[in-house]
Amino acid sequence: MPKLTPITIVNVGYRSTNYWVVSSGTSRLLVDLGYPGTMGMMQARLRQMDIPLEEIRYALATHYHIDHAGLAQELKVAGVPLLLFEPQVPAVPVMKSWTKPQDHYVDITMHNNVVIAFAESRTVLERIGIPGEILHTPGHSDDSVSLLLDDGSAFTGDLTPPGRIGYEDPEVVAASWRLLREHGARRVYPGHGPVRPMDG
Ligand SMILES: [Zn+2]
């Protein structure tokens, strides 16, 4: 039997947003991609946590809001491929409209992105040594996705906790939580705030 490399999870977040590095040894995935204009801060946080940028195999944004995908293009230029899902593609060009010139947002080009279907996510993650899948979990936004590891860790971005629904469609939010639960989610690693149990 092949020896399993333990999965580690590190938060390199700042400005009250969590940016998670999920690693299998030195093969890493960055979940959520910083604020516009903060590449220096992201690099400093990675250095502090002893994570070389070149070990990050993919950048994954849970959704295309500026606090979750603000550095996607700069990370690409630095050599980290952007993993994109089909429902996210139309959300990418809209990001620009939420930024001001002083944010120094670098627009994400549609070149050199790795666009895959959800059904392929397990295979793509397997190739970088991370057992899990990526699921479509709309509710906070139509383009929201969650990374679910086989150990039950769920990286849900801004998927609205069931008790805090405002403008969202409650049925869409409930269906996303149900999907995560059915696929074995046990702990939530949200885009903001502390890690919590799935039913906490
Ligand atoms: Zn958001």
85-143 pLDDT per residue, tens: 999 999 999 999 999 999 999 999 999 999 999 999 999 999 999 999 999 999 999 99
How far apart are the CA of 97 and the centre of ligand 1, in A? 14
What does the pLDDT read at residue 199? 79
**Residue 3 predicted with pLDDT over 70:** no
**Residue 47 predicted with pLDDT over 70:** yes
What does the pLDDT read at residue 200? 53
Task: Name the residues around ion ligand 1, CB cutoff 5 A.
Answer: 65, 158
Give the whole-angstrom CA distance, residue 114 versus residue 112: 7
Give the whole-angstrom CA distance, residue 51 versus residue 44: 10
How far apart are the CA of 22 and the centre of ligand 1, in A? 20
How far apart are the CA of 144 and the centre of ligand 1, in A? 8
| pTM, to two decimals | 0.96
Give the whole-angstrom CA distance, residue 181 versus residue 198: 8
Structure tokens at 50: 């002893």
How far apart are the CA of 29 and the centre of ligand 1, in A? 20
**Residue 54 predicted with pLDDT over 60:** yes
How far apart are the CA of 200 and the centre of ligand 1, in A? 21
How far apart are the CA of 2 and the centre of ligand 1, in A? 39
How far apart are the CA of 3 and the centre of ligand 1, in A? 38
